[in-house]
Chains A and B, each alone.
With several copies, the nearest count.
Chain A
Amino acid sequence: MEIEIISFGQITEFINNQKIEVDGITDTDAFSKYIENRFPALKNLKYKLALNKNIVQHNTEITNQATIAIMPPFSGG
């Protein structure tokens, strides 16, 4: 399954935008585990995900060709 990952804010400093080919990641909880494992610096951040431009509020199914944004705490205003 192909997932496009995009990052924002300070997360851009250690995760580049990229496409990954993975198997067995079927929901956003599984994605979080995967990405925290690959980028341990994420564990110290209260990041949020957006799946196909919807901010993820609770565990959500991921389908092929999904775009997942990894977003650090917001600091606009």
Chain B
Amino acid sequence: MSEKKIKNIFVNGPIAPAFIADSIAKHNSKTAIGGHSIFMGQVRKDEIDGKFVAAITYTAYEEVALEKMHQIREEIFEKYPLSCMHIYHSLGTVKAGEICLFVFASSVHRKPAILACSDVVDRLKVELPIWGKEIFEDETHQWKENI
């Protein structure tokens, strides 16, 4: 890796539907693309011991996460013939019902985009140093765990 450009994936707060629409619209000029696959993570209003999750506050070891994401990206591009891939993850507070993760993969035919998108979501949940703190409606909290 002689020349590597580490992309930022972090956005402050929730990922707005309008941001996603802009991202989709930008692909209008990429006329070799035939299929786009998107995954979005949404904060659930889970009930835990009678209390409801109101929001999740995300923190990350940012530099390490971006470096790792860069590495995953390179491996995914080697594995699948993708036209492009975009990944965004929230930091800070995201309320229940809001989007905290947006993965967007595109390819000429549909299969690589679908597989890459799913693969990336699996990997980033396990490999990126990001932590979610579930804030309940009564302002108590618990630390989220990916199962």
Q: Chain A: residues with CB nearer than 8 A to chain B?
A: 8-10, 48, 50, 53-55, 69, 71-77
Sample of 17 A–B contacts (CB below 8 Å): A9-B131, A53-B64, A55-B64, A69-B129, A71-B129, A73-B146, A74-B129, A74-B130, A75-B131, A76-B60, A76-B89, A76-B101, A76-B129, A76-B131, A76-B146, A77-B100, A77-B146
Q: Cβ of A9 and Cβ of B127 under 8 Å apart?
A: no
Cβ contacts under 8 Å, A10 to chain B: 131, 133, 143
A74 to B146, CA, bound (A): 7
Cβ contacts under 8 Å, A69 to chain B: 61, 64, 129
Interface string of B60-102 (1 = CB under 8 A from A): 1101110110000000000000000000010000000000110
A54 to B59, CA, bound (A): 18
Chain B interface size, under 10 / 10 to 19 / 20 to 34 / 35 or more: 20 to 34
Q: Which residue of A lies closest to B131 (CB)?
A: A9
A77 to B39, CA, bound (A): 10
* Distance from A70 Cβ to chain B, minimum over Cβ atoms (Å): 10
Q: Cβ of B58 and Cβ of A76 under 8 Å apart?
A: yes
A54 to B63, CA, bound (A): 10
A74 to B147, CA, bound (A): 10
Q: Cβ of B59 and Cβ of A8 under 8 Å apart?
A: yes
Q: Cβ of A77 and Cβ of B101 under 8 Å apart?
A: yes
Q: A74-B146, A76-B131 are in contact. List 6 more A-B contacts (CB 8 A).
A: A55-B68, A55-B129, A75-B145, A76-B124, A76-B128, A77-B146
| Contact A9 to B59, CB < 8 A, known contacts A73-B145, A74-B128, A76-B132 | yes
